[in-house]
Amino acid sequence: MKKHNFSAGPCILPQEVFKEASQAILDFNNSGLSILEISHRSADFVSVMEEAQSLALELLGLQDKGYKALFLQGGASMQFLMVAYNLLEKKAAYLNTGTWSSKAIKEAKLFGGVVEVASSKDKNFNYIPKSYSIPEDIDYFHCTSNNTIFGTQMKEFPATSKPLVCDMSSDIFSREMDFSKFDIIYAGAQKNMGPAGTTLVIVKEDVLGKVSREIPSMMDYSTHISKDSMFNTPAVYAVYVSMLTLRWIKSKGGIKAMEELNNKKAELLYSEVDRNPLFKGFAAKEDRSPMNATFNLVDESHKDVFDKMWKDAGVNGLNGHRSVGGYRASMYNALPLESVQVVVDCMKELERKK
Ligand SMILES: *Cc1c(COP(=O)(O)O)cnc(C)c1O
């Protein structure tokens, strides 16, 4: 039986995508070859890469606006240093909203000065800092749109005349926004777009070429732009499955349709968290993420009973990250509303039994 999969990442993808992707392993495009055994330079794969890149830009509304979409390797974690390698000459400003921001800050410090404009560490990152100012003498401002571990999401982005860089790993393609505010957007595929192994990087070309250091070819965005993400062998299968997922998003009505469903799922879950006296939410209400909902039991002694209940109901991946404890329901684009209902029913059932 298919599980209700709330895993934080790698995570659920659409069933249609799994079917098509598994078929391509046996016979890709009726070619008599598996997608796993063809050259990344073959016409069939080059068209996959092109479609993936153009779908990403199209869905984000960034076509013909000076942006390039790249599919790179090394995860979002590699972007923590690549961003600084390519953009940081003297000083950059970072907003620290959790584990991933902290890691990005650590890497950037190897390349230049880093100003942490604000941090929510004082409350174990359960909120998004709002009143801070961004210095004028910086090379760029970096933030994390959605904090996968703590379950907070930035609803507003600060206005700055400097390049805006954003780690959108866990909420890309989940909500409508004016993406043209950003100069670099990056996202590990495995949270909302595809399998692990590739990272989408959207680069506005005019932010490049401004640092004086030599950049190794593999670390240089310009290399990957000039080679259309084929400077070295790309993660062929991960790009292919990401492309199928992007097609799926488009066929369902694009980001707008994703956002509508994501809001329904979030509303269903959070309203039960708030109503049910046995549970309490972790993140500050106004900063709650529709992607990753974090909540705890008020009385930990109910843990064993509740855990057995949701596991018996076919739910997977509901345990919270060790730095928050409790539960985390990751409700990415491909998770159906019915799966959220199953968890809500378990929460109600626990209340009845107690
Ligand atoms: C998972 C995650 C990362 C790390 O991604 P990798 O691809 O494992 O390097 C970075 N940022 C955010 C917001 C994440 O959710």
Alpha helices in 147-292 (DSSP H): 221-226, 236-251, 254-275
The structural domains of the chain, with segments of one domain joined by +, span: 15-251, 254-353
What letter represents residue 249's amino acid?
I
Pocket test for ligand 1, best of 100, 289, 294, 321 (most atoms within 8 A of CB): 100
Which atom of ligand 1 is nearest the CA belonging to 168?
13
Average pLDDT over residues 103-130: 98
N- to C-terminal Cα separation, the chain = 29
Structure tokens at 283: 């993140």
Q: Is 137 a catalytic residue?
A: no
Query: How far, in Å, is the centroid of ligand 1 from the Cα of 313?
Result: 29
Residue closest via CA to ligand 1's atom 8 equals: 75
Q: Are 263 and 290 in contact (CB under 8 A)?
A: yes
What's the CA gap between 108 and 114, in Å, rounded? 7
Average pLDDT over residues 210-237: 98
What's the CA gap between 190 and 200, in Å, rounded? 10
Catalytic choice (68, 100, 204, 265): 100
List the CATH code of the domain at 15-251: 3.40.640.10
β-pairing verdict for 113-119 and 315-316: unpaired
What's the CA gap between 12 and 108, in Å, rounded? 31
Q: Are 171 and 153 in contact (CB under 8 A)?
A: yes
247 is in an annotated binding site: no
Residue closest via CA to ligand 1's atom 14 equals: 169
Selection from 189, 334, 169 nearest residue 248 by Cα:
334
Q: Is 167 a catalytic residue?
A: yes
What's the CA gap between 316 and 310, in Å, rounded? 8
5 is in an annotated binding site: no
Question: pLDDT per residue over 231-268, tens digit each?
Answer: 999 999 999 999 999 999 999 999 999 999 999 999 99
State the pTM of this model: 0.98
- The DSSP symbol for 321 reads P
Selection from 166, 147, 144, 120 nearest residue 294 by Cα:
147
Question: pLDDT per residue over 31-85, tens digit each?
Answer: 999 999 999 999 999 999 999 999 999 999 999 999 999 999 999 999 999 999 9
Question: pLDDT per residue over 311-333, tens digit each?
Answer: 999 999 999 999 999 999 999 99
Residue labelled with tokens 């391509």: 24
232 is in an annotated binding site: yes
- Is 162 touching ligand 1 by the criterion CB < 6 Å? no
Q: What is the pLDDT of residue 1?
A: 84
Residue labelled with tokens 């240093």: 81
Q: Are 292 and 329 in contact (CB under 8 A)?
A: yes
- Cα torsion 262, 263, 266, 271 to 10°: value is -160
- Is 170 touching ligand 1 by the criterion CB < 6 Å? yes
What's the CA gap between 100 and 77, in Å, rounded? 8
Query: How far, in Å, is the centroid of ligand 1 from the Cα of 295?
Result: 21
Please identify, in words, the CATH class of the domain defined by 254-353. Answer: alpha beta
Length of the chain counted residue by residue: 354
